[in-house]
């Protein structure tokens, strides 16, 4: 059974690698997932071998488990950080992996399949130490990754006009929570088995977890496109929201008024907000204004974020369409979608905030 499960996970991982390596347009997050799946393929592939890897390789494959935490963190960073680039400093995250490998190469390696009874197998203590370090490593990277996602979600109103599955990363939070549940369950059962000296589950929980994890990673990761689509060469010009706040004095009052008029003229005439995927970077590209200046004009001078500004224009567009005979056969929700809203609940909430009426009550009052 364990070989069957490992084979399923192994095939999924190889298939996933092919998907992400060939996925277009290319993004660094796809390469990180591809490497991550390669690590998983190695872990699952060893169970398909007719021998224990320690019989031929003293370090075994256990140390690669220390790469899961860093890869999760790097993947989340590549999605949530618009200025993310791979630097040599990321190699620091691999230090625990190499330290364990070197230590095990000197003979401190014992098969996880051997007896965990320290009286019979005293060298198994090293496996307990490695596993404890692994738990600490995974928890740290799990917390750091979740913090990055929550910080990114706070910045969504400054960069996007809608909350979507692509920019909220709900699937990634779900995957991380599922991983945590599996991991805690696996640890709990493993400790109970050691204390009672009994085996409750014959199948390796690790390989079940990795197989399920691989399926989720391939399925949802393939649907996840780059959140921040920055043109090549624009990285050096990026200015984050917090940085823009401290440089706001550099934007003169005359510039603020000129940019504000340009923004409002652009929104009224071009109506880019009709696109539900419309984002701040699109406005930057269309107006050819630095992110810093545009951010200052919208967030500071207008006392509102990008999300609120765009949805105010969408509400006004909805109000115009409701009295336009050309749209008399459209439902209110149909008009909302035509105006760039992507969710009924979001539309109802924003419309009432802007008008004081629900969409249906407003239509009745016309």
Domain boundaries, the chain: 2-223, 235-365
pLDDT band at 119 (very low <50, low <70, confident <90, very high): low
170-188 residues labelled b (16+ CB within 10 A) or e (exposed): ebbeebbeebeebbeebee
**Does CATH number 1.10.10.60 belong to domain 235-365?**
yes
Whether the Cβ atoms of residue 362 and residue 318 lie closer than 8 Å to each other: no
pLDDT at residue number 53: 64
User: What's the distance, Cα to Cα, between the start and end of the chain in Å?
Assistant: 67
- The residue that leads in pLDDT, 252 or 335, is 335
Q: Which two tokens stand for residue 78?
A: 């590549």
Q: Which two tokens stand for residue 118?
A: 């320290």
The pair phi, psi for residue 49, each rounded to 5°, is -80, 150
Residue 13: pLDDT above 60? yes
Residue 100: pLDDT above 60? yes
Neighbours of 167 (CB within 10 A): 22
pLDDT at residue number 246: 37
pLDDT at residue number 311: 96
pLDDT band at 231 (very low <50, low <70, confident <90, very high): low
**Does CATH number 1.10.3470 belong to domain 2-223?**
no
pTM for the model: 0.84
**DSSP H stretches of helix in the chain:** 2-22, 28-45, 68-80, 95-105, 125-159, 165-168, 170-196, 205-223, 241-246, 253-270, 280-287, 291-296, 306-322, 332-338, 344-355, 359-365
Whether the Cβ atoms of residue 247 and residue 239 lie closer than 8 Å to each other: yes
- The residue that leads in pLDDT, 250 or 175, is 175
- The residue that leads in pLDDT, 46 or 157, is 157
Span 275-284, pLDDT tens digits: 999 999 999 9
Q: Which two tokens stand for residue 31?
A: 């390469």
Whether the Cβ atoms of residue 33 and residue 221 lie closer than 8 Å to each other: yes
Whether the Cβ atoms of residue 39 and residue 68 lie closer than 8 Å to each other: yes
Question: How far is the CA of 304 from the CAs of 114, 138, 319, 340, 357, in angstroms?
Answer: 62, 39, 21, 19, 21
Span 158-178, pLDDT tens digits: 999 999 988 999 999 998 888
Q: Is the peptide bond before 25 cis (omega within 30 degrees of 0)?
A: yes
Percent of the chain residues topping a pLDDT of 90:
52
Q: What is the mean pLDDT of residues 225-238?
A: 61
Q: Which two tokens stand for residue 147?
A: 């913090």
Q: Which two tokens stand for residue 358?
A: 């629900």
pLDDT band at 248 (very low <50, low <70, confident <90, very high): very low
- Give the integer Cα–Cα distance in Å for 220 and 327: 37
Span 51-90, pLDDT tens digits: 666 555 656 778 888 999 999 999 999 999 988 988 899 9
For residue 245, with 0-12 CB atoms within 10 Å meaning exposed, 13-18 middle and 19 or more buried, which class applies?
middle
Minimum mean pLDDT range among 34-38, 231-235, 259-263: 231-235
Cα Rg, the chain, nearest whole Å = 26
Whether the Cβ atoms of residue 73 and residue 93 lie closer than 8 Å to each other: yes
297-321 residues labelled b (16+ CB within 10 A) or e (exposed): bbbeebeebbbbbbbbbbbbbbbeb
Residue 205: pLDDT above 80? no
- Give the integer Cα–Cα distance in Å for 227 and 167: 6
Closest CA to 234 of 156, 290, 293, 160: 290
pLDDT band at 356 (very low <50, low <70, confident <90, very high): very high
- Give the integer Cα–Cα distance in Å for 208 and 149: 26
Among 57-66, 177-186, 232-241, 351-360, which range has the highest average pLDDT? 351-360
């Amino acid at each position: 059974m364990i070989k069957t499960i490992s084979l399923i996970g192994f095939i999924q991982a190889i298939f996933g690698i092919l998907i992400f390596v060939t996925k277009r347009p290319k993004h660094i997050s796809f390469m990180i997932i591809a490497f991550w799946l390669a690590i998983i393929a190695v872990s699952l592939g060893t169970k398909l071998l007719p021998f224990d890897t320690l019989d031929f390789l003293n370090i075994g494959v256990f140390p690669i488990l220390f790469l899961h935490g860093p890869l999760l963190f790097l993947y989340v960073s590549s999605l949530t950080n618009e200025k993310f680039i791979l630097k040599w400093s990321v190699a620091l995250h691999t230090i625990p992996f190499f330290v364990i490998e070197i230590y095990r190469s000197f003979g401190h390696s014992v098969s996880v399949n051997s007896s965990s009874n320290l009286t019979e197998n005293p060298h198994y203590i090293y496996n307990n130490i490695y596993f404890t370090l692994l738990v600490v490593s995974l928890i740290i990277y799990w917390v750091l990754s979740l913090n990055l996602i929550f910080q990114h979600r706070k910045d969504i109103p400054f960069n996007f006009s809608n909350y979507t599955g692509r920019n909220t990363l709900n699937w990634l939070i779900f995957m991380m929570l599922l991983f945590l549940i599996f991991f805690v369950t696996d640890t709990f059962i493993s400790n109970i088995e050691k204390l009672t000296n009994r085996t409750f589950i014959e199948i390796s929980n690790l390989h079940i977890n990795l197989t399920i994890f691989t399926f989720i990673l391939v399925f949802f990761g393939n649907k996840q496109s780059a959140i921040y689509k920055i043109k090549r060469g624009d990285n050096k010009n990026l200015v984050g929201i917090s940085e823009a706040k401290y440089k706001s004095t550099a934007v003169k009052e005359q510039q603020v008024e000129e940019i504000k008029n340009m923004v409002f003229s652009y929104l009224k005439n071009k109506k880019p907000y009709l696109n539900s995927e419309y984002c701040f970077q699109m406005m930057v590209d269309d107006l050819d204004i630095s992110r810093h200046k545009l951010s200052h004009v919208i967030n500071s001078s207008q006392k509102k974020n990008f999300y609120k500004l765009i949805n105010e224009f969408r509400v006004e567009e909805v109000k115009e369409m409701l009295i336009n005979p050309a749209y008399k056969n459209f439902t209110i929700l149909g008009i909302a979608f035509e105006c760039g809203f992507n969710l009924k609940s979001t539309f109802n909430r924003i419309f009432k905030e802007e008008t004081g009426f629900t969409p249906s009550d407003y239509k009745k009052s016309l």
